[in-house]
């Protein structure tokens, strides 16, 4: 089945950083990890001592350079390994270890500017905390952003305050949110770190963190599995009171769920972590990074989903059309509306045919125009109620592969003109005669208006004893949902 995710040039079903960089810079771009020798306000007593409970001695910079070396030496050593494979690559200096804005601006300049002066360096990624960017620092970042590709990475880990307290994050959600707004006001790119598997967090809590991030103006995300590392407070807690650590299967399922609800334009900078094997206590499966990534890819492929899939029920409708409709199929769009589904079906049935019904002349004319613009000829439109389908297509009884309904009113049209319960009921009963033995009826229901609620209630009763599957992408009662109805009972 075709991958419908738009931000890809590979088999990935999410917006990879590699794809983003190639689109932006036209070639391969690598991040070179650096250790600027910074500390952290959550370690030196300003906000707390010892840092977050999971943080390693290296300040989550296990693969950055050694602070005893200057940053240019670190960069050149890191670049050399990458340069052997990609001779003409571009580079981004990644200040990774600890809190990389936690210093006076003159110190920051001493670290950042030498890297920017190097050949083929196109930008900086700076990992920091939401509570460690002063107004003076922000002004410098604004100026940097005007002359290079700048990204600020903020550690959130979880939106839940009880979790933040438990892990000793040291600042509240409001602080994080305000810093995102400040950075975006200056048009600075923001990437957010989150951690799955934090103690006492349920799957739903991890999904809520992603839903929260969807409401913010962020450009990227890093998704990590919790690493329990030696010589950390988390290791002590785990030893004294072992808690559940996600299995690889649980992590893969959670990440797939998170990707399905994440806005499709948010770039995935990381989808699993790189632990220091010598320091890792649990989980051991994270050491096989490529296997984890491969399993996430397979899970999305198995589901026929992709990043942002759950943000519209229309994505599920199209996925079901892809599944059922073959190239030579005969299909019916029972509610032509603005013509989008009609065109979608026409492109699936290159050697078949689409019959479209709509009572509104405006809908038929709009669809005819779109078909003509795209030079599509395998469609016949009828300005009729869908309750007339069986009479109009009496020669096709038992031959139709798929019939689609999008109940409600014409998008951007007259909302007083809507599908009606009685005619809809007849149309669906007739549809069960029109489809062949393996055919399907796809009904998108919108209970968010008076007649739509009546249709929803009617359909629930109508399909009660039939082979029906419900698809919902939200818990909101008034949101559109999909009913998949098969002839086989």
Nearest-CA neighbor of 55 among 275, 268, 239?
Answer: 275
**How many whole angstroms separate alpha carbon 49 and alpha carbon 170?**
10
Is the peptide bond prior to 283 cis by the omega test (within 30 degrees of 0)?
yes
- Weakest-pLDDT range from 115-124, 222-231, 480-489: 480-489
**In what side-by-side order are the strands of the sheet with 90-95?**
29-34, 90-95, 121-128, 149-157, 189-196, 220-225, 267-270
Asked if residue 88 lies in contact with residue 203, where contact means CB atoms within 8 angstroms, the answer is no
**How many whole angstroms separate alpha carbon 307 and alpha carbon 256?**
8
Q: Say whether pLDDT at 345 is over 70.
A: yes
Q: Tens digits of per-residue pLDDT, 353-366?
A: 999 999 999 999 99
**How many whole angstroms separate alpha carbon 355 and alpha carbon 209?**
44
**How many whole angstroms separate alpha carbon 407 and alpha carbon 449?**
11
**How many whole angstroms separate alpha carbon 142 and alpha carbon 248?**
40
Q: What percent of the chain has pLDDT over 90?
A: 80
Read off the DSSP letter of residue 28. -
Q: Say whether pLDDT at 61 is over 60.
A: no
Q: Say whether pLDDT at 386 is over 70.
A: yes
Strands 400-406 and 379-382, by their bridges, are unpaired
**How many whole angstroms separate alpha carbon 385 and alpha carbon 363?**
12
- Weakest-pLDDT range from 12-16, 44-48, 320-324, 454-458: 44-48
**How many whole angstroms separate alpha carbon 199 and alpha carbon 481?**
34
Determine the pLDDT at residue 248. Answer: 98
What is the mean pLDDT of the segment spanning 99-123?
A: 96
Query: What is the total residue count of the chain?
Result: 489
Determine the pLDDT at residue 412. Answer: 59
Tell me if residue 388 falls in helix, strand or coil.
Answer: helix
Rounded to two decimals, what is the model's pTM? Answer: 0.91
CA 456, 457, 460 angle in degrees (round to 5)?
Answer: 85
Tokens linked to 62 = 């296990």
CATH code of the domain made up of 17-308 = 3.20.20
**How many whole angstroms separate alpha carbon 340 and alpha carbon 358?**
13
Asked if residue 401 lies in contact with residue 326, where contact means CB atoms within 8 angstroms, the answer is yes
- Does the CA dihedral 64-69-71-75 come out positive or negative? negative
- Weakest-pLDDT range from 36-40, 132-136, 137-141, 472-476: 472-476
Q: Say whether pLDDT at 413 is over 70.
A: no
Helix (H) or strand (E) holding 103: none
Q: Residue for token digits 């589901």?
A: 303
Q: Give the CATH number of domain 313-486; options: 3.65.10.10, 3.40.50.150, 3.40.50.300, 3.30.2350.10.
A: 3.40.50.150
Q: Tens digits of per-residue pLDDT, 202-253?
A: 999 999 999 999 999 999 999 999 999 999 999 999 999 999 999 999 999 9
Confidence category of residue 2, pLDDT binned at 50, 70, 90? low
Domain boundaries along the sequence of the chain: 17-308, 313-486
Tokens linked to 331 = 């299909």
Determine the pLDDT at residue 59. Answer: 52
Asked if residue 375 lies in contact with residue 352, where contact means CB atoms within 8 angstroms, the answer is no
Strand blocks (E) in 20-131: 29-34, 90-95, 121-128
Per CATH, 17-308 and 313-486 having the same topology is answered no
Determine the pLDDT at residue 88. Answer: 84
What is the mean pLDDT of the segment spanning 454-464?
A: 90
Q: Tens digits of per-residue pLDDT, 78-108?
A: 888 777 777 789 999 999 989 999 999 999 9
Nearest-CA neighbor of 71 among 47, 48, 49, 97?
Answer: 97
**How many whole angstroms separate alpha carbon 65 and alpha carbon 79?**
11
CA distances to 39, 335, 435, 487 from 398, rounded to whole Å, are: 72, 20, 5, 10
What is the mean pLDDT of the segment spanning 277-286?
A: 94
Determine the pLDDT at residue 82. Answer: 77
Q: Say whether pLDDT at 44 is over 90.
A: no
What is the mean pLDDT of the segment spanning 348-357?
A: 97
């Amino acid at each position: 089945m075709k991958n419908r995710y738009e931000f890809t040039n590979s088999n990935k079903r999410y917006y990879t950083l590699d794809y983003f960089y190639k689109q932006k810079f036209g070639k391969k771009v690598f991040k070179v990890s650096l250790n600027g020798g910074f500390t952290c306000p959550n370690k030196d007593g300003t906000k707390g001592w010892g840092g977050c409970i999971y943080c390693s001695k290296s300040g989550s910079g296990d693969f950055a350079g050694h602070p005893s070396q200057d940053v240019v030496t670190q960069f050149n050593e890191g670049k050399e390994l990458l340069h052997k494979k990609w001779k003409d690559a571009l580079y981004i200096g990644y200040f990774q270890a600890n809190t990389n804005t936690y210093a006076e601006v003159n110190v920051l300049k001493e670290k950042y500017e030498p890297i920017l002066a190097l050949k083929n360096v196109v930008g900086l990624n700076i990992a920091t905390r939401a509570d460690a960017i002063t107004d003076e620092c922000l002004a410098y970042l604004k100026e940097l952003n005007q002359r290079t590709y700048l990204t600020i990475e903020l550690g959130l880990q979880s939106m839940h305050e009880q979790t933040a307290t438990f892990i000793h994050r040291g600042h509240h959600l409001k602080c994080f949110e305000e810093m995102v707004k400040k950075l975006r006001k200056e048009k600075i790119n923001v990437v957010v770190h989150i951690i799955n598997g934090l103690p006492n967090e349920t799957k739903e809590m991890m999904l809520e963190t992603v839903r929260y991030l969807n409401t913010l103006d962020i450009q990227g995300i890093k998704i990590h599995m919790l690493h329990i590392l030696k010589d950390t407070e988390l290791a002590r807690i785990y030893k004294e009171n072992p808690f559940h650590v996600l299995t690889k299967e649980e992590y893969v399922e959670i990440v797939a769920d998170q990707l399905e609800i994440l806005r499709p334009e948010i770039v995935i900078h990381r989808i699993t972590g790189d632990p220091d094997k010598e320091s890792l206590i649990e989980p051991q499966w994270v050491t096989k990074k490529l296997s984890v990534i491969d399993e996430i890819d397979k899970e999305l492929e198995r589901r026929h989903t992709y990043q942002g899939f759950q943000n519209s029920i229309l994505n599920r409708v199209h996925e079901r059309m892809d599944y059922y409709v073959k190239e030579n199929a005969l299909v019916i769009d029972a509610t032509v509306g603005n013509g989008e589904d009609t065109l979608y079906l026409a492109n699936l049935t290159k050697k078949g045919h689409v019959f479209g019904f709509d009572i509104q002349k405006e809908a038929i004319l709009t669809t005819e125009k779109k078909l003509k613009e795209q030079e599509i000829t395998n469609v016949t439109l009828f300005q009729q109620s869908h309750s007339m389908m069986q009479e109009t297509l009496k020669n096709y009884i038992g031959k139709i592969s798929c019939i689609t309904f999008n109940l409600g009113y014409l998008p951007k049209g007259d909302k007083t003109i809507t599908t009606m319960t009685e005619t809809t009921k007849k149309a669906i009963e007739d549809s069960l005669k029109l489809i062949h033995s393996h055919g399907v009826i796809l009904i998108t229901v919108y209970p968010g208006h008076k007649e739509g609620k009546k249709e929803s209630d009617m359909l629930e009763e109508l399909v009660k004893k039939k082979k029906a599957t419900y698809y919902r992408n939200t818990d909101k009662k008034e949101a559109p949902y999909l009913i998949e109805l098969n002839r086989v009972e």
